[in-house]
Amino acid sequence: NAGVTQTPKFQVLKTGQSMTLQCAQDMNHEYMSWYRQDPGMGLRLIHYSVGAGITDQGEVPNGYNVSRSTTEDFPLRLLSAAPSQTSVYFCASSYGGPGLPLHFGNGTRLTVT
Amino acid sequence: SQQGEEDPQALSIQEGENATMNCSYKTSINNLQWYRQNSGRGLVHLILIRSNEREKHSGRLRVTLDTSKKSSSLLITASRAADTASYFCATGNDAGGTSYGKLTFGQGTILTVHP
């Protein structure tokens, strides 16, 4: 099993550009989520999904879009990149249900200049 | 806002020593989890303790939970250089509905184990 796969690993964008961060899992997990990790801020939840066709906002959703058309994939779209979106982005998944552990990808390091 | 707050922010010890990290949180929880993050990698789940449990063990890891004080501790015994990593606590709130799987993370403790 590959687990949770994130692509790309690194990305540099100019302000105003858009891009999609890819996340795929092969564990048939219902629950998928996106976090961003910033120094001194820990991990903050951006968006999450409890199943195909269902998404909801987390703590810091502004500037990001998500969709969940399949169980396996949960892409994160940056609509118009800003320097404040420079961060490391993690995708995580779990079977769902209260308190089940999250499985994380290895992250995408994004720099917006 | 961060639910979990780890203490200390950084910890430096020698191999063979024990490492203790603490986590405090603010609201009621269903469970508390600890994760490890090696440099440049994603987080890896270590252990989960439910709100009705007081202590849990897994190998060299011991986690305690005191819901009256809203705090938890992670003890790593007989530490090794390979334990060098950042450690995060995360709290889950079983508010029902679509809340499952949502975890709130603290800022982490950076542990350095010197050989």
* Each residue's pLDDT tens digit, B66-88: 999 999 999 999 999 999 999 99
Neighboring chain A residues of B100 at a CB cutoff of 8 Å = 31, 50, 96-100
Token digits of residue A103: 């499985």
Token digits of residue A82: 């800003």
Closest chain B CA to residue A55 = B98
- Residue B2 binned pLDDT confidence (cut-offs 50, 70, 90): very low
Token digits of residue A36: 């961003």
Amino acid identity of residue B21, one-letter, is M
pLDDT at site A83: 97
> CA-to-CA distance for B67 and A5, rounded, in angstroms?
36
| DSSP three-state, residue B62 | strand
Query: Percentage of chain B surpassing pLDDT 90?
Result: 72
* Mean pLDDT for chain A overall: 93
Token digits of residue A37: 């990790």
* Mean pLDDT for chain B overall: 90
Q: Do A43 and B88 touch (CB under 8 A)?
A: yes
Within its chain, how far is the Cα of B113 from the centroid?
A: 17
> CA-to-CA distance for B60 and B79, rounded, in angstroms?
8
Beta-carbon count within 10 A of B60 CB:
14
CB pairs under 8 A between A and B: 77
Between residues A1 and B34, the one the model is more confident about: B34
- Tell me if chain A has a CB within 8 Å of the CB of B105: yes
CA atoms within 13 A on the CB side of B106: 28
